[in-house]
Structure 1
Protein backbone atom coordinates (compact mmCIF):
# COMPACT_ATOMS: atom_id res chain seq x y z
CA UNK A 1 0.00 0.00 0.00
CA UNK A 2 1.42 3.34 -1.05
CA UNK A 3 1.02 6.15 1.49
CA UNK A 4 -0.65 9.36 0.40
CA UNK A 5 -2.80 7.89 -2.35
CA UNK A 6 -6.21 7.97 -0.66
CA UNK A 7 -8.23 10.94 0.58
CA UNK A 8 -9.67 8.81 3.39
CA UNK A 9 -9.47 10.32 6.87
CA UNK A 10 -9.59 8.04 9.87
CA UNK A 11 -10.17 8.50 13.60
CA UNK A 12 -9.51 5.73 16.11
CA UNK A 13 -10.72 6.60 19.58
CA UNK A 14 -11.75 5.30 22.96
CA UNK A 15 -14.39 6.78 25.27
CA UNK A 16 -13.92 6.56 29.01
CA UNK A 17 -17.02 7.49 31.02
CA UNK A 18 -16.20 7.85 34.73
CA UNK A 19 -19.40 6.05 35.69
CA UNK A 20 -20.61 2.65 36.81
CA UNK A 21 -22.87 2.48 33.73
CA UNK A 22 -19.95 3.15 31.34
CA UNK A 23 -21.12 0.50 28.84
CA UNK A 24 -24.54 2.17 28.59
CA UNK A 25 -22.94 5.61 28.08
CA UNK A 26 -20.59 4.36 25.34
CA UNK A 27 -23.18 2.27 23.48
CA UNK A 28 -25.77 5.01 23.85
CA UNK A 29 -23.46 7.63 22.32
CA UNK A 30 -22.66 5.33 19.39
CA UNK A 31 -26.32 4.43 18.82
CA UNK A 32 -27.56 8.04 19.02
CA UNK A 33 -25.07 9.22 16.40
CA UNK A 34 -25.92 8.98 12.72
CA UNK A 35 -22.92 7.13 11.29
CA UNK A 36 -24.37 6.54 7.82
CA UNK A 37 -21.72 8.73 6.18
CA UNK A 38 -18.69 6.86 7.59
CA UNK A 39 -17.27 3.37 7.73
CA UNK A 40 -17.20 2.32 11.38
CA UNK A 41 -15.94 -0.62 13.37
CA UNK A 42 -15.96 -1.08 17.15
CA UNK A 43 -13.97 -3.70 19.03
CA UNK A 44 -13.34 -4.32 22.72
CA UNK A 45 -10.75 -1.52 22.95
CA UNK A 46 -11.70 1.25 20.53
CA UNK A 47 -13.81 2.44 17.62
CA UNK A 48 -12.53 3.54 14.22
CA UNK A 49 -14.43 5.76 11.79
CA UNK A 50 -13.24 6.41 8.25
CA UNK A 51 -14.39 8.41 5.25
CA UNK A 52 -14.47 12.02 4.07
CA UNK A 53 -12.97 14.50 6.49
CA UNK A 54 -16.18 16.50 6.98
CA UNK A 55 -18.07 13.39 8.06
CA UNK A 56 -15.35 11.92 10.25
CA UNK A 57 -15.12 15.12 12.29
CA UNK A 58 -18.91 15.45 12.40
CA UNK A 59 -19.38 11.91 13.72
CA UNK A 60 -16.51 12.24 16.21
CA UNK A 61 -18.02 15.42 17.67
CA UNK A 62 -21.53 13.93 17.77
CA UNK A 63 -20.39 10.80 19.64
CA UNK A 64 -18.49 12.94 22.13
CA UNK A 65 -21.44 15.29 22.60
CA UNK A 66 -23.96 12.46 23.09
CA UNK A 67 -21.72 10.94 25.76
CA UNK A 68 -21.31 14.34 27.43
CA UNK A 69 -25.07 14.97 27.53
CA UNK A 70 -25.40 12.13 30.04
CA UNK A 71 -23.79 14.51 32.55
CA UNK A 72 -21.10 11.97 33.40
CA UNK A 73 -17.43 12.88 33.45
CA UNK A 74 -16.21 11.72 30.03
CA UNK A 75 -12.70 11.31 28.67
CA UNK A 76 -12.00 10.66 25.00
CA UNK A 77 -8.64 9.84 23.51
CA UNK A 78 -7.98 9.26 19.85
CA UNK A 79 -5.87 9.61 16.73
CA UNK A 80 -6.85 11.26 13.45
CA UNK A 81 -4.86 10.10 10.45
CA UNK A 82 -4.68 11.04 6.77
CA UNK A 83 -2.51 9.93 3.89
CA UNK A 84 -1.80 6.30 4.79
CA UNK A 85 -5.03 4.50 5.65
CA UNK A 86 -3.68 0.97 5.28
CA UNK A 87 -6.75 -0.42 3.50
CA UNK A 88 -9.62 0.59 1.24
CA UNK A 89 -12.60 -0.67 3.27
CA UNK A 90 -14.03 2.86 3.55
CA UNK A 91 -13.55 3.97 -0.06
CA UNK A 92 -17.26 3.80 -0.88
CA UNK A 93 -17.92 6.52 1.72
CA UNK A 94 -15.82 8.99 -0.27
CA UNK A 95 -18.77 9.25 -2.68
CA UNK A 96 -20.97 10.80 0.03
CA UNK A 97 -21.92 14.46 -0.35
CA UNK A 98 -20.72 17.10 2.09
CA UNK A 99 -23.98 17.57 4.01
CA UNK A 100 -23.39 16.43 7.59
CA UNK A 101 -25.77 13.99 9.26
CA UNK A 102 -25.44 15.19 12.86
CA UNK A 103 -26.59 18.69 13.79
CA UNK A 104 -26.72 19.53 17.49
CA UNK A 105 -26.02 23.03 18.82
CA UNK A 106 -25.89 22.01 22.49
CA UNK A 107 -23.23 24.04 24.30
CA UNK A 108 -20.62 21.92 26.09
CA UNK A 109 -17.31 22.93 27.63
CA UNK A 110 -14.34 20.76 26.64
CA UNK A 111 -10.81 20.79 27.99
CA UNK A 112 -8.46 19.02 25.61
CA UNK A 113 -4.94 18.57 24.35
CA UNK A 114 -3.66 17.88 20.86
CA UNK A 115 -0.40 17.04 19.15
CA UNK A 116 0.37 17.22 15.43
CA UNK A 117 2.74 14.89 13.59
CA UNK A 118 3.30 16.09 9.98
CA UNK A 119 4.96 12.96 8.62
CA UNK A 120 8.03 13.27 6.39
CA UNK A 121 7.86 17.07 6.54
CA UNK A 122 11.28 18.54 7.36
CA UNK A 123 9.54 21.79 8.37
CA UNK A 124 7.26 20.03 10.85
CA UNK A 125 7.97 22.50 13.69
CA UNK A 126 6.89 25.41 11.49
CA UNK A 127 3.64 23.57 10.78
CA UNK A 128 3.04 22.94 14.49
CA UNK A 129 3.77 26.56 15.44
CA UNK A 130 1.42 27.74 12.68
CA UNK A 131 -1.42 25.65 14.12
CA UNK A 132 -0.75 26.78 17.69
CA UNK A 133 -0.98 30.37 16.41
CA UNK A 134 -4.26 29.42 14.70
CA UNK A 135 -5.61 28.13 18.04
CA UNK A 136 -4.70 31.45 19.66
CA UNK A 137 -6.44 33.37 16.84
CA UNK A 138 -9.57 31.21 17.26
CA UNK A 139 -9.65 31.80 21.01
CA UNK A 140 -9.37 28.10 21.95
CA UNK A 141 -5.72 27.97 23.03
CA UNK A 142 -5.31 27.14 26.70
CA UNK A 143 -1.63 26.52 27.42
CA UNK A 144 1.68 25.18 26.16
CA UNK A 145 2.89 21.93 27.65
CA UNK A 146 5.35 19.15 26.97
CA UNK A 147 4.38 16.98 23.98
CA UNK A 148 1.01 18.70 23.40
CA UNK A 149 -0.90 21.98 23.37
CA UNK A 150 -3.93 22.68 25.53
CA UNK A 151 -7.15 23.53 23.70
CA UNK A 152 -10.42 24.39 25.42
CA UNK A 153 -13.80 26.00 24.94
CA UNK A 154 -17.18 25.05 23.56
CA UNK A 155 -17.14 21.65 21.85
CA UNK A 156 -18.21 23.18 18.51
CA UNK A 157 -15.36 25.69 18.55
CA UNK A 158 -12.84 23.05 19.62
CA UNK A 159 -13.83 20.58 16.88
CA UNK A 160 -13.95 23.38 14.28
CA UNK A 161 -10.38 24.28 15.21
CA UNK A 162 -9.25 20.64 15.09
CA UNK A 163 -10.74 20.14 11.63
CA UNK A 164 -9.28 23.40 10.35
CA UNK A 165 -5.88 22.57 11.79
CA UNK A 166 -6.01 19.08 10.27
CA UNK A 167 -6.69 20.64 6.87
CA UNK A 168 -3.93 23.25 7.03
CA UNK A 169 -1.22 20.99 8.48
CA UNK A 170 -1.29 18.86 5.29
CA UNK A 171 -0.04 19.79 1.86
CA UNK A 172 0.14 18.19 -1.57
CA UNK A 173 3.79 17.42 -0.93
CA UNK A 174 3.26 16.15 2.63
CA UNK A 175 -0.11 14.40 2.73
CA UNK A 176 0.53 12.04 5.63
CA UNK A 177 -0.57 13.60 8.92
CA UNK A 178 -1.33 12.22 12.35
CA UNK A 179 -3.07 14.26 15.05
CA UNK A 180 -3.72 12.98 18.56
CA UNK A 181 -6.42 14.44 20.80
CA UNK A 182 -7.39 13.87 24.42
CA UNK A 183 -10.53 15.42 25.87
CA UNK A 184 -12.09 15.82 29.28
CA UNK A 185 -15.76 16.79 29.63
CA UNK A 186 -17.92 17.36 32.72
CA UNK A 187 -14.90 17.04 34.97
CA UNK A 188 -15.31 18.30 38.56
CA UNK A 189 -12.04 20.20 38.01
CA UNK A 190 -13.70 22.41 35.35
CA UNK A 191 -15.44 24.37 38.07
CA UNK A 192 -18.97 24.11 36.69
CA UNK A 193 -18.15 25.25 33.14
Structure 2
Protein backbone atom coordinates (compact mmCIF):
# COMPACT_ATOMS: atom_id res chain seq x y z
CA UNK A 1 0.00 0.00 0.00
CA UNK A 2 1.46 3.37 -1.00
CA UNK A 3 1.26 5.74 1.95
CA UNK A 4 1.77 9.00 0.02
CA UNK A 5 3.24 12.00 1.79
CA UNK A 6 1.49 11.17 5.04
CA UNK A 7 1.06 14.08 7.41
CA UNK A 8 1.42 11.67 10.34
CA UNK A 9 4.68 11.98 12.25
CA UNK A 10 5.62 9.68 15.10
CA UNK A 11 8.16 9.73 17.91
CA UNK A 12 9.02 6.64 19.95
CA UNK A 13 11.20 7.44 22.94
CA UNK A 14 12.42 6.30 26.32
CA UNK A 15 13.16 8.57 29.28
CA UNK A 16 15.93 7.53 31.64
CA UNK A 17 16.05 9.58 34.87
CA UNK A 18 19.23 8.91 36.83
CA UNK A 19 17.36 8.78 40.14
CA UNK A 20 15.80 6.27 42.51
CA UNK A 21 12.37 7.85 41.95
CA UNK A 22 12.59 7.37 38.16
CA UNK A 23 9.01 6.05 37.88
CA UNK A 24 7.57 9.19 39.49
CA UNK A 25 9.72 11.41 37.25
CA UNK A 26 8.63 9.64 34.06
CA UNK A 27 4.94 9.53 35.01
CA UNK A 28 5.08 13.12 36.25
CA UNK A 29 6.60 14.38 33.00
CA UNK A 30 3.90 12.61 30.99
CA UNK A 31 1.09 13.87 33.24
CA UNK A 32 2.35 17.48 33.27
CA UNK A 33 2.42 17.60 29.47
CA UNK A 34 -0.73 18.40 27.49
CA UNK A 35 -0.86 15.44 25.12
CA UNK A 36 -4.42 16.00 23.88
CA UNK A 37 -3.19 16.92 20.37
CA UNK A 38 -1.41 13.58 19.81
CA UNK A 39 -2.15 9.87 19.93
CA UNK A 40 -0.03 8.37 22.73
CA UNK A 41 0.72 4.91 24.05
CA UNK A 42 3.13 3.94 26.81
CA UNK A 43 4.37 0.43 27.52
CA UNK A 44 7.04 -1.00 29.81
CA UNK A 45 9.88 0.05 27.47
CA UNK A 46 8.91 3.25 25.69
CA UNK A 47 6.24 5.78 24.76
CA UNK A 48 5.07 6.61 21.25
CA UNK A 49 3.32 9.82 20.24
CA UNK A 50 1.81 10.36 16.79
CA UNK A 51 -0.03 13.13 14.98
CA UNK A 52 0.75 16.36 13.16
CA UNK A 53 4.44 17.24 13.11
CA UNK A 54 4.01 20.52 14.98
CA UNK A 55 2.28 18.75 17.89
CA UNK A 56 4.62 15.76 18.00
CA UNK A 57 7.68 18.00 18.36
CA UNK A 58 5.88 20.25 20.87
CA UNK A 59 4.86 17.32 23.06
CA UNK A 60 8.31 15.69 22.80
CA UNK A 61 10.00 18.90 23.95
CA UNK A 62 7.48 19.43 26.76
CA UNK A 63 7.96 15.91 28.13
CA UNK A 64 11.76 16.30 28.08
CA UNK A 65 11.53 19.73 29.73
CA UNK A 66 9.09 18.57 32.41
CA UNK A 67 11.40 15.68 33.28
CA UNK A 68 14.45 17.98 33.37
CA UNK A 69 12.69 20.52 35.61
CA UNK A 70 13.00 17.98 38.45
CA UNK A 71 16.71 18.86 38.49
CA UNK A 72 17.66 15.21 38.09
CA UNK A 73 20.04 13.98 35.40
CA UNK A 74 17.75 12.91 32.54
CA UNK A 75 18.61 10.98 29.38
CA UNK A 76 16.18 10.66 26.50
CA UNK A 77 16.59 8.50 23.43
CA UNK A 78 14.10 8.33 20.59
CA UNK A 79 13.23 8.05 16.93
CA UNK A 80 11.12 10.43 14.85
CA UNK A 81 9.56 8.92 11.75
CA UNK A 82 7.40 10.09 8.85
CA UNK A 83 6.09 8.33 5.78
CA UNK A 84 6.25 4.88 7.31
CA UNK A 85 4.25 2.51 5.08
CA UNK A 86 0.91 1.66 6.66
CA UNK A 87 1.10 4.45 9.25
CA UNK A 88 -2.52 5.51 9.61
CA UNK A 89 -3.73 4.89 13.18
CA UNK A 90 -4.26 8.23 14.84
CA UNK A 91 -5.56 9.98 11.72
CA UNK A 92 -8.17 11.75 13.87
CA UNK A 93 -5.38 13.88 15.38
CA UNK A 94 -4.59 15.34 11.96
CA UNK A 95 -7.70 17.51 12.32
CA UNK A 96 -6.09 19.44 15.17
CA UNK A 97 -5.16 23.06 14.46
CA UNK A 98 -1.53 24.17 14.45
CA UNK A 99 -1.58 26.10 17.76
CA UNK A 100 0.72 24.27 20.18
CA UNK A 101 -0.61 23.40 23.62
CA UNK A 102 2.62 23.36 25.65
CA UNK A 103 4.18 26.80 26.00
CA UNK A 104 6.61 26.55 28.91
CA UNK A 105 9.66 28.68 28.00
CA UNK A 106 11.85 27.61 30.93
CA UNK A 107 15.47 27.58 29.83
CA UNK A 108 17.21 24.20 30.00
CA UNK A 109 20.62 23.23 28.66
CA UNK A 110 20.62 20.07 26.52
CA UNK A 111 23.56 18.14 25.11
CA UNK A 112 22.38 15.88 22.32
CA UNK A 113 23.17 13.92 19.19
CA UNK A 114 21.11 13.30 16.10
CA UNK A 115 21.26 11.30 12.90
CA UNK A 116 19.10 11.69 9.79
CA UNK A 117 18.10 8.69 7.69
CA UNK A 118 16.29 9.75 4.48
CA UNK A 119 15.16 6.33 3.28
CA UNK A 120 15.88 5.46 -0.38
CA UNK A 121 17.28 8.93 -1.11
CA UNK A 122 20.52 8.51 -3.09
CA UNK A 123 21.55 12.08 -2.16
CA UNK A 124 21.23 11.44 1.57
CA UNK A 125 24.76 12.63 2.42
CA UNK A 126 24.18 16.00 0.74
CA UNK A 127 21.04 16.40 2.83
CA UNK A 128 22.86 15.50 6.04
CA UNK A 129 25.75 17.89 5.31
CA UNK A 130 23.24 20.66 4.57
CA UNK A 131 21.53 20.21 7.93
CA UNK A 132 24.85 20.07 9.80
CA UNK A 133 25.81 23.36 8.13
CA UNK A 134 22.48 24.82 9.17
CA UNK A 135 23.09 23.69 12.77
CA UNK A 136 26.36 25.62 12.68
CA UNK A 137 24.54 28.71 11.36
CA UNK A 138 21.97 28.41 14.18
CA UNK A 139 24.69 28.13 16.84
CA UNK A 140 23.58 24.70 18.12
CA UNK A 141 26.27 22.54 16.50
CA UNK A 142 28.61 20.94 19.02
CA UNK A 143 30.84 18.45 17.21
CA UNK A 144 31.14 15.87 14.46
CA UNK A 145 31.32 12.25 15.50
CA UNK A 146 30.90 8.78 14.11
CA UNK A 147 27.27 7.93 13.22
CA UNK A 148 25.81 11.20 14.58
CA UNK A 149 26.28 14.95 14.95
CA UNK A 150 26.44 16.71 18.29
CA UNK A 151 23.84 19.40 18.95
CA UNK A 152 23.62 21.44 22.14
CA UNK A 153 22.15 24.57 23.68
CA UNK A 154 18.86 25.65 25.16
CA UNK A 155 16.15 23.00 24.75
CA UNK A 156 13.94 25.35 22.73
CA UNK A 157 16.72 26.13 20.24
CA UNK A 158 17.66 22.45 19.98
CA UNK A 159 14.08 21.30 19.33
CA UNK A 160 13.53 24.15 16.85
CA UNK A 161 16.57 22.93 14.94
CA UNK A 162 15.42 19.31 15.08
CA UNK A 163 11.97 20.14 13.75
CA UNK A 164 13.42 22.30 10.95
CA UNK A 165 15.95 19.59 10.02
CA UNK A 166 13.14 17.02 9.92
CA UNK A 167 11.02 19.30 7.71
CA UNK A 168 13.94 20.03 5.39
CA UNK A 169 14.74 16.34 4.97
CA UNK A 170 11.19 15.34 4.02
CA UNK A 171 10.22 15.22 0.37
CA UNK A 172 7.39 14.04 -1.83
CA UNK A 173 9.77 11.83 -3.79
CA UNK A 174 11.37 10.14 -0.78
CA UNK A 175 8.56 9.91 1.71
CA UNK A 176 10.01 7.76 4.48
CA UNK A 177 12.30 9.66 6.84
CA UNK A 178 13.77 8.61 10.17
CA UNK A 179 15.67 10.84 12.62
CA UNK A 180 17.21 9.54 15.83
CA UNK A 181 17.98 11.76 18.82
CA UNK A 182 19.72 11.16 22.12
CA UNK A 183 19.92 13.86 24.74
CA UNK A 184 21.21 14.50 28.21
CA UNK A 185 19.98 17.16 30.64
CA UNK A 186 21.30 18.16 34.08
CA UNK A 187 24.35 15.93 33.70
CA UNK A 188 27.19 16.57 36.16
CA UNK A 189 29.48 16.62 33.11
CA UNK A 190 27.74 19.76 31.80
CA UNK A 191 29.60 21.87 34.34
CA UNK A 192 26.58 23.61 35.84
CA UNK A 193 24.97 24.69 32.56
CA-atom RMSD in angstroms: 0.9
Match of 2:187 in 1: 187
SS at match of 1:15: strand
Q: Secondary structure at the match of 2:117?
A: strand
- 2:72 corresponds in structure 1 to 72
- Name the counterpart of 1:131: 131
Match of 2:104 in 1: 104
**Deviation readout 1:123-154 (Å, 9 max, x if unpaired):** 00000000000100100000000000000000
Alignment of 1:165-176 (within 5 A): 165-176=165-176
Runs of 4+ in 1 over 3 A off after TM superposition: none
**C-alpha distance in 2, partners of 1:102/1:89?**
23
Q: Give TM-score, length-normalised by structure 1.
A: 0.98
In structure 2, the partner of 1:21 is 21
Kept after mapping to 1: 8 A contact 2:2/2:85: no
Which residue is 1:36 aligned to?
Answer: 36
Q: Which runs of 5+ in 1 are unaligned?
A: none
Indicate conservation of the 8 Å contact 1:10/1:85, yes or no.
no
Q: Determine helix, strand or coil for the equivalent of 1:125.
A: helix
Question: Separation in 1 of the partners of 2:49 and 2:86?
Answer: 13
C-alpha displacement of 1:170: 1.1
3-state DSSP class of the match of 2:78?
A: strand
Aligned to 2:91: 91
Q: Deviations over 1:52-89 (max 9, x none)?
A: 00000000000000000000000000000001153322
Match of 1:6 in 2: 6
The aligned length equals 193
